[in-house]
Amino acid sequence: MKNNVIFKGWWLPLLLVAPQLIISAIFFFYPSGQAIWNSLFLPDPFGLKTEYVGLDNFTFLLSDSYYRASFLTTAIFSISVSVFSMGLGLYLAVLADRLIKGAGVYQTLLIWPYAVAPAIAGILWMFMFNGRIGLISWYLGLLGYDWNHALNSGEAMSLVVVASTWGRVSYNFLFFLAGLQAIPKSIIEAAAIDGANFWKRFRSIIFPLLSPISFFLLVVNIVYSFFETFGVIDIITAGGPEQSTTTLVYKIYADGFIGQDLGSSAAQSVILLVLVGLLTVFQFKYIERKVHY
Amino acid sequence: MIEKKKSGYWLSHLGLCLGVLFIFFPVWLAFVGSTVTQDDILQPPYPVLPGPHFFENYSKALFHGGPEGYDTGQISVLKMLINSTIMALGITIGKIIISLLSAFAFVYFRFPGRKTFFWIIFLTLMLPIEVRIVPTYQVAANLGLLNSYTGLIFPLIASATATFLFRQFFLTIPSEMVEAARIDGATPMQFFKDILIPISKTNIAALFVILFVYGFNQYLWPLLITTTPDMQTIVMGIKFMIPTGDDYGHWPTIFSTAMLAMLPPVLIVIGMQKFFVKGLLESDK
């Protein structure tokens, strides 16, 4: 913070930051500390007292095949959602950027799913594939394919990925479009005069210039798929079948509220906390580097 | 356009139209579902053109929570919409106010603990409420905040994105402005009210859109913290309309409710598109 002129006094600024500090303390720091604390204890079956068990909750978790499977599930889910929504977003942004007129209209037509709640997106897609009556599952049935995402784990995963991707394309589209429009047209024109066709220009000029933003989007999309897609999964599959769509966040909820296994749920929170912390540090490191360039 | 080839131009339009089709298709089907009868939906194939029951379905959902004789144990969708709007506005306005105040303090004052507090708030950037959901629920329950607007709103305000955005913006304001205000004898709060807030208008509008969408679309937290139907928000209330097991559910009502749940945030994003784009591109960096 450089040469900003500063007001005098110390009680006024303390008063000004107080609301945010108090709310953070009550609803952020205390619960986070509580999660760490609870992860070291095991409540007895009657909930009367808890017993200190050290790292037992963690060692038990890591030996639990369902928990280990939820890591893989989370990885498959978040990488698929990120790659598909970024791919589609980039594709549409490149097309819109090529237009002289009309890019604005397409932008309006493409960005609004950002405002649709993941849970609502889940309802829309769930119904299209709803066994007996959904539009797509019914036509698939006519073609002889019996779609049932309540029983088939591959279909369940595809459906939650498609529903989440649908809601996420607009976000990536906007960032890629802004990135493309920031590339000076003179560079691209120069390459065109040198005889580079569209694909050549895209590969050797546009894509490298977009790589910082792509990397940023990858991290943001992965974090998004970790947390914000809870509604999609809860509505479409509720984590099933056989926990095949139970992501790390969904498992914290399922074990903590439905299974009432507070120690395990708290330990999972701590593991996720570390994981997201690492991702964030990674992202900040990267942004710092970008600022230097 | 560098090459003036017609074919590439039309192919661009074609590709974009396909994208628009993919985006609109599910919502179109939901709209169709909200204008037909239950029987139209239960007898495949699913209709692809709207029927004549638009007003009937929407008015029954809005004012009765469903058709007569169909007991969902639900409140009216209108009440859910009101709850959602109160929650969304509470989160939005609350977050903007506390962030403006603390960003003002961090940028324009030097006070004991400034660095420490800054890092404390910085930490809250990292973890969404989903990670600490169980203990946060216990805190809210212990404070007696279940089934209250306070409980719906405050835990979701505890994050620092807006504070950082305002801080960054304040740092770009030329120091001559502060100096001029001081020479004119303005107190810090006068400077805040008469200069800082007016020049932050665009940023406030941009954040308003992002935060309203975020608040309105909350699902997990309201699901946990509301146990009585009359506090349900629309995005989570719809979950209880969906049939489980062999039940059929009343789909025209579900689709009307889904359409109504999308309407407020979509209208705000489209109506304030300029601010939305600005807010989105800046708030995540």
Does residue B226 form part of some domain? yes
Distance CA B192, CA B205 (A): 17
Does residue B218 form part of some domain? yes
Distance CA A268, CA A195 (A): 56
Q: Tell me: pLDDT of B31 over 90.
A: yes
DSSP B18-76: HHHHHHHHHHHHHHHHTTS-HHHHHSSSPP-S--S-HHHHHHHHHHHSSSTT----PPP
User: Contacts for B39-48 with beta carbons within 8 Å, 24 or more apart?
Assistant: B41/A133, B41/B251, B41/B252, B42/A133, B42/B248, B42/B251, B44/A132, B44/A133, B44/A138, B45/A135, B45/A138, B45/A139, B46/A133, B46/A134, B46/A135, B46/A138, B48/A135
| Neighbour tally for B107: CB within 10 Å | 19
B21 exposure class (CB count in 10 Å sphere: 0-12, 13-18, 19+): exposed
DSSP helix, strand, coil percent of chain B (3-state; round to 5):
70, 0, 30
B217 and B87 in contact (C-beta within 8 Å)? no
B217 and A113 in contact by Cβ < 8 A?
no
Distance CA A167, CA A169 (A): 6
Pick the most confident of A21-30, A81-90, B125-134: A81-90
Q: Report the percentage of chain A scoring pLDDT > 70.
A: 92
pLDDT at B68: 67
pLDDT at B73: 60
- B152 and B184 part of one domain: yes
Give chain B's mean pLDDT.
Answer: 87
Please tell me whether the peptide bond between A241 and the residue prior to it is cis, using omega within 30 degrees of 0: yes
The two three-digit tokens of residue B52, written as one number: 């004549």
At B70, the pLDDT band (50, 70, 90 cuts) reads low
Q: What is the pLDDT of residues A157-193, one digit of tens each?
A: 999 999 999 999 999 999 999 999 888 888 888 888 8
| Neighbour tally for B140: CB within 10 Å | 23
- B51 and B84 part of one domain: no
Distance CA B55, CA B75 (A): 19
Q: Which residue of A has its CA nearest to B103?
A: A17
Q: Report the percentage of chain A scoring pLDDT > 90.
A: 29
Q: Tell me: pLDDT of B284 over 60.
A: no
Please state the ipTM of this predicted complex. 0.90
Nearest alpha-carbon partner for A84 in A218, A196, A270, A227: A218
Query: In chain A, what are the domain boundaries?
Result: 57-292
- B268 and B154 part of one domain: yes
pLDDT at A195: 81
| DSSP class of B231 | G
- Left if phi > 0, otherwise alpha if psi is -120 to 50, otherwise beta: which for A50? beta
At B5, the pLDDT band (50, 70, 90 cuts) reads low
- B129 and B258 part of one domain: yes
Does residue B194 form part of some domain? yes
- Mutate which: B34, B121, B217, vs A, most A CBs within 10 A: B217
Q: Tell me: pLDDT of A289 over 80.
A: no
- B12 and B92 part of one domain: no
pLDDT at B96: 94
Give chain A's mean pLDDT.
Answer: 85
At A292, the pLDDT band (50, 70, 90 cuts) reads very low
Q: What is the pLDDT of residues B224-273, one digit of tens each?
A: 999 888 899 999 989 888 877 666 778 899 999 999 999 999 999 999 99
The two three-digit tokens of residue A160, written as one number: 């939650």
> Which residues of chain B lie closer than 8 angstroms to A89, CB-CB?
none
Mean pLDDT along residues A226-245: 88
Locate all alpha helices (DSSP H) within chain A, ordered by sequence. Answer: 11-24, 30-38, 56-63, 65-98, 103-111, 118-128, 135-142, 153-181, 185-193, 198-201, 207-227, 230-236, 248-253, 262-292
Mean pLDDT along residues B31-48: 87
A174 and B280 in contact by Cβ < 8 A?
yes
Q: Positive or negative CA dihedral for A124, A129, A132, A138?
A: positive
Nearest alpha-carbon partner for A112 in B22, B23, B214, B12: B23
| DSSP class of B139 | H
- B48 and B98 part of one domain: no
Q: What's the number of domains chain B is made of?
A: 2
Mean pLDDT along residues A241-252: 89
Beta bridge partners of A42: A51
User: Contacts for B244-249 with beta carbons within 8 Å, 24 or more apart?
Assistant: B248/B38, B248/B42
Distance CA A171, CA A189 (A): 28
Q: Which helix (H) or strand (E) holds B170?
A: helix B161-171
- B259 and B196 part of one domain: yes
Q: What is the pLDDT of residues B78-100, one digit of tens each?
A: 999 999 999 999 999 999 999 99
- Left if phi > 0, otherwise alpha if psi is -120 to 50, otherwise beta: which for A240? beta
Does residue B71 form part of some domain? no
Distance CA B111, CA A13 (A): 7
- B28 and B143 part of one domain: no
Does residue B69 form part of some domain? no
State the pTM of this model.
0.90
Q: Which residue of A has its CA nearest to B25?
A: A124
- B91 and B193 part of one domain: yes
> Which residues of chain B lie closer than 8 angstroms to A41, CB-CB?
none
Chain A (140-179) residues lying within 8 Å, Cβ to Cβ, of chain B = 166, 169-171, 174-175, 178
> Which residues of chain B lie closer than 8 angstroms to A258, CB-CB?
none
pLDDT at B1: 47
Does residue B70 form part of some domain? no
At A278, the pLDDT band (50, 70, 90 cuts) reads confident
> Which residue among A5, A108, A198 sits closest to B273, beta carbon to beta carbon?
A108
DSSP-derived 3-state class of residue B173: coil
Q: Report the percentage of chain B scoring pLDDT > 70.
A: 92
Distance CA B280, CA B206 (A): 8
b/e code B179-207 from CB counts within 10 Å (16+ = b): eebbeeebebeebbeebbeeebeebbebb
Distance CA A188, CA B19 (A): 25
Mean pLDDT along residues B58-78: 77
Residue B170 structural domain: 77-283
List the CATH number of the domain containing B146: 1.10.3720.10
Beta bridge partners of A52: A41
Q: How many CA atoms lie within 13 A of A195 on its CB side?
A: 0
- B223 and B104 part of one domain: yes
Mean pLDDT along residues B213-234: 92
Q: How far is A280 from chain B (nearest CA, A)?
A: 7
DSSP A210-276: HHHHHHHHHHHHHHHHHHTTHHHHHHHTTT-STTTT--HHHHHHIIIIIS--HHHHHHHHHHHHHHH
> Which residue among B101, B238, B270 sits closest to A112, beta carbon to beta carbon?
B270
B58 and B261 in contact (C-beta within 8 Å)? no
Q: What is the pLDDT of residues B179-206, one digit of tens each?
A: 888 888 888 888 899 889 999 999 999 9
Q: Tell me: pLDDT of A63 over 70.
A: yes
Q: Tell me: pLDDT of B2 over 60.
A: no
Domain with residues A57-292, CATH architecture: Orthogonal Bundle (1.10)
